[in-house]
Amino acid sequence: MADIIIKNAYVLTMDPDAGDIKKGTVVIEDGKITEIGVKTKESADTVIDAKGSVVMPGLVNTHTHAAMTLFRGYADDLQLAEWLEKHIWPAEAQLTAEDVYRGSLLACLEMIRSGTTSFADMYFFMDETAKAVEASGLRASLSHGLIELWNEEKGENDLKEGKRFVRAWQGAAKGRIKTMYGPHAPNTCSDEFLAKVKEAARQDGAGLHIHVLETEAELLAMKERYGKCSVHMLDDIGFFGPDVLAAHCVWLSDGDIEVLREKGVNVSHNPISNMKLASGTAPVYKMLERGVNVSLGTDGCASNNNLDLFEEMKTAALLHKLSTCNPTALPARQVLQMATVNGAKALGTETGMLKTGMKADMIIVDMKKPHLTPCFDVPSHLVYSAGGSDVRTTIVDGKILMQDYRVMVLDEQKVIEEAQKAAEELVARVNS
């Protein structure tokens, strides 16, 4: 007997061999997809009739800072350097472990509601984010942010904590948690420090999550310090490989794109954050054309200001049509692939596709809505017309986290109230 059967759904498998099944069935057992097709002979404890809905792989957010939900709308309409150094970092200096737990739990709730089933995070007090992931049932790749700022002692301490975290949580929450090293950026960490972090990651068999060439200011600072850009500096110290997740990658030359492709680096594109902070336009069309694995991320809620990957998909599609003056750039299906298949590849998880044997991370999107009527093409609707609030059911590792808009794993009102309180008290401390 299976655990869950989803029937009568439009199945968007994202599996190139299987394609879409217009009226299909997905069978889930022991956290995995055991059958996919038109009909099944199986029976199950839970049978979901998904008539009028789409079942698809859960979305993968490859770059965020979950606890920054507490800073949602806290400092808007500013230059990145001023935003980070004058507003965000002073506020982060007042953060407590409890705050990070409240903020992370709020983020998990928001992700469950908007169809994100796994995410990559880089922040502080990461034990708390890990606990929130454990409690919420989501899947995540977590890293402690290492910000050396050319201070050897700070670097050592950060790396020590990063290492402790990597070892403490690798494989936790029944394998849903993976850990990574999170050196912040090439303009906040020295080349020597980055090489040390790379070595630690190699020893632990852990991945690396880093911001790369988010701003022109970073590019100019790198040229002045090293006589080369971040990509070449990182390449020269042996940093790159398929275990690296590079967020932003806005200010790339054609040569940089070639390095990223050759080394199998995974890029997390964050169009809304890049637009909001006016960081620039990442050459996503070119990267995809050359075969770089580009996925999607929201970045933190201080620069987005939500975690809705449906919004991110639409924005990515529109931004690259506009920036290339080419309406055929980033068609809907390719954008869906970025948010599912490419994201799963970036995090190295057996998810991102509905396929027998894969982990059962999937969402059911309600298509019986005024703004989704009529429906000629499902991928088009998912990218251009739908929003995170159209997700009715969210399943991770074969467990139902939200069923028919009801979150099963968290006390929603309590999570919201406690996050609100934590945010208010935090800002009061910052201003006192």
Ligand X SMILES: O=c1[nH]cnc2c1ncn2[C@@H]1O[C@H](CO)[C@@H](O)[C@H]1O
Cα 407 to Cα 321: distance, rounded to the nearest angstrom = 36
Quick one: what does residue 347 bind among Zn ion, ligand X, none, with the CB cut-off 5 to 8 Å set by partner type? none
**Tokens matching residue 65:** 């800072």
DSSP class of 215: S
Residue nearest to Zn ion (CB): 299
Residues 251-290, one symbol each (x = binds ligand X by CB under 6 A, - = not), give: ----------------------x-----------------
Residue closer to ligand X by CB (options 92, 390) is 92
Closest to ligand X by CB, 32 vs 87, is 87
State yes or no: residue 299 binds ligand X (CB under 6 A).
yes
Q: How many residues bind ligand X (CB under 6 A)?
A: 15
Helix and strand counts by DSSP (H, E) for the chain: 16, 17
Residues of 17-45 as b/e, b for ≥16 C-beta within 10 angstroms? ebebbeebbbbbbebbbbbbeeebeeebe
CB of 303 to ligand X, least distance (A): 5
Q: Which is nearer to ligand X, 65 or 320 (CB)?
A: 65
Q: Is 320 annotated as a binding residue?
A: no
Could you tell me which stretch among 27-35, 295-303, 387-395, 422-430 binds ligand X (CB under 6 A)?
295-303
Q: Which two tokens stand for residue 398?
A: 């074969």
* Binding partner selected for residue 178 from Zn ion, ligand X, none, CB under the kind-specific 5 to 8 Å limit: none
On whether 214 is known to bind a ligand per the annotation, the reply is yes
Torsion of the alpha carbons at 102, 103, 106 and 108, rounded to the nearest 10 = -110
The one of ligand X, Zn ion, none whose footprint includes residue 24, by CB under 5 to 8 A per kind, is none
Residue 122 lies near ligand X (rule: CB under 6 A): yes
Q: What x/- string results for residues 195 through 224 when contact with ligand X is judged by CB under 6 A?
A: ----------------x--x----------
**DSSP state letters, 7-59:** EEEEEE---TTT-EEEEEEEEEETTEEEEEES--S--EEEEEE-TTEEEEEPE
92 is in an annotated binding site: yes
- Residue 390 binding result from ligand X, Zn ion, none, given CB thresholds of 5 to 8 Å by partner type: none
Q: How far is the CB of 405 from ligand X (least distance, A)?
A: 30
Identified binder of Zn ion from the candidate list 3, 235, 243, 299, rule CB under 5 A: 299
Q: Which residue is nearest to ligand X (CB)?
A: 145
Which of ligand X, Zn ion, none binds 145 (CB below 5-8 Å, type-dependent)?
A: ligand X
Residue 27 vs 66, nearer CB to ligand X: 66
- Member of 10, 101, 119, 123 binding ligand X (CB under 6 A): 123
State the DSSP code for 395: E
Interacting residues of 48 by C-beta distance below 8 A, sequence separation 6+: 4, 5, 6, 7, 364, 393, 403
Q: Are 354 and 13 in contact (CB under 8 A)?
A: yes
Question: Measured between alpha carbons, how far is residue 399 from residues 31, 56, 169, 431 in Å?
Answer: 7, 15, 21, 42
Report in angstroms how near the CB of residue 246 gets to Zn ion at its nearest.
11
Q: Applying CB under 6 A, does 184 fall inside the site for ligand X?
A: yes
Does residue 303 interact with ligand X by CB under 6 A?
A: yes
Sign for the CA dihedral angle at 28, 32, 38, 39 comes to negative
Q: Does 218 bind Zn ion (CB under 5 A)?
A: no
**Interaction residues for ligand X, span 81-110 (CB under 6 A):** 84, 88, 92
How, if at all, do strands 116-123 and 32-37 pair? unpaired
Contact 369, 390 (CB under 8 A): yes
Cβ proximity to Zn ion: between 299 and 366 the closer is 299
Q: What are phi and psi of 294, to 5 degrees?
A: -105, 125
Rounded to whole angstroms, how far apart are CA atoms 144 and 39?
Answer: 45
Cβ neighbours of 127 (radius 10 Å):
17
Partner from ligand X, Zn ion, none binding residue 141, C-beta < 5-8 Å depending on class: none
The set of residues, in sequence order, having a beta carbon less than 8 Å from that of 321 and lying 6+ positions away, is 327, 328, 329, 330
- Would you count residue 311 as binding ligand X (CB under 6 A)? no
Q: Which residues bind ligand X (CB under 6 A)?
A: 65, 84, 88, 92, 122-123, 145, 182, 184, 211, 214, 273, 299-300, 303
Write out the binding residues: 63, 65, 92, 184, 211, 214, 299
- Residues forming the annotated binding site for substrate? 92, 184, 214, 299
Q: Which residues belong to the annotated binding site for Zn(2+)?
A: 63, 65, 211, 299
